[in-house]
Chain A
């Protein structure tokens, strides 16, 4: 590679890294406990569990759960129901003052799916894990904070790619994984920076880029909603279950009947989420029911169906667009929560190695000599 080209890549690597390093360090450090948030909640007793009841106790209707939640929290309305795979007897219910808020003041509670009783509200707003979460996700600054961290993530992508370009010229005289440990500390750390950077490359690119995509989640769902609305207005919908379909659960205006009709239209799928009309995930007239399959991949790649609670008609307004697929695949690849505890431990170790890459990069810049202005 010609010296001038090399110098340009060096400049790109230096500045893209310098601008984002402190923020990425913060993301790596706060992300470390977040990898194990489930386990930490479990150990500290912060996890809320449904009271034990005989297996197979029937569930009450979601309308009853909603009514009980509103009774417990007067002045709020339900927006979403979420089902968690590992807590089948609980509904997570998100409440807010209106259905069309930005959810910055929303409240998440947990209700017993068998009695409708409110079991508790996970305390997301206090404590160590909450601080870690907010620092990791939005720096306490809402959507602008998310997008800012996303921009830092994009700079990290630039830093990684330029680092790969610079890897070859630095390794010309060295074998793979060779560390000149008897040389000056700066040389030793340069070798370690190159080694750790190149072996964590794919993981860092995957977690970094999926993190960037996650910062766009709000915008992605807004885009999908607009897509669905456009498809509805243009009549480009696919009717999965007509209003007068024989044998389908009867329409009675209730949310439960609407959900039952969706399940009748999509056999083999389970409810992952129910969105009330008017919320970000639904339309003003339809309930959206987000369904998930039962394999590791299809449980992430959800299908959204719309149901008119008054007519009972079940529609698919638009098949899941590619950008929603990208977002849904981005979540597990960012969180590392799809392969049990061993994968989480590997995620943590790769995170620590990345911290060493960032730290050594900073050190190499601080200790730069006049002879090596590039590094």
Chain B
């Protein structure tokens, strides 16, 4: 459970900070909000870019471990 939620919670907290920072302070707050709200945008765009379909029928080994139910945590982007 912890493994599933740690990144979503971090992104949520950073986004919240970004939404509020620009509202309460000018200058530094604006910069904070740009960086903070850039985080979900960067992760989302990266996911979209990496998530394009790949057709690599000759490398069936690459697909195999993903089908297995063994937990694997890395490969975040």
Contacts and interface: CB of A to CB of B under 8 A. Distances in A.
| Main DSSP-derived SS at the A contact region | helix
The main secondary structure of chain B at its interface with chain A is helix
Interface residues of B, number: 47
Nearest to A198: B8
Contact of B15 (A167, A203, A343): A203
A178 interface: yes
A168 B47 CA distance: 18
A200 B44 contact: yes
B72 A201 contact: no
Contacts of A178: 75-76
Nearest to A185: B53
Given A175-B72, A356-B48, A182 B38 contact: no
A349 B76 contact: no
Interface in A161-198: 167-168, 171-173, 175-183, 185, 188, 191-192, 195-196, 198
Contacts of A339: 22, 29-30, 33-34
A179 B66 CA distance: 10
Nearest to B47: A195
Given A177-B77, A182-B56, A350-B37, A202 B12 contact: yes
A244 to B, nearest CB: 40
A1 B66 CA distance: 23
B53 A199 contact: no
Contacts of A105: none
A121 interface: no
9 contacts: A177-B77, A182-B62, A182-B63, A200-B40, A206-B19, A329-B23, A333-B23, A340-B30, A342-B30
Interface of B: 1, 4-8, 11-12, 15-16, 19, 22-26, 29-30, 33-34, 37-38, 40-41, 43-48, 50-54, 56, 62-63, 66, 69, 71-77
Listed from nearest, the 6 A-B pairs whose CB atoms lie closest are A179-B51, A339-B22, A202-B15, A176-B7, A199-B40, A353-B44
Given A167-B4, A168-B1, A296-B24, 17 more contacts: A175-B76, A177-B47, A177-B76, A182-B62, A188-B51, A191-B51, A199-B43, A202-B12, A203-B15, A295-B25, A296-B22, A342-B30, A346-B38, A349-B41, A350-B37, A350-B40, A353-B40
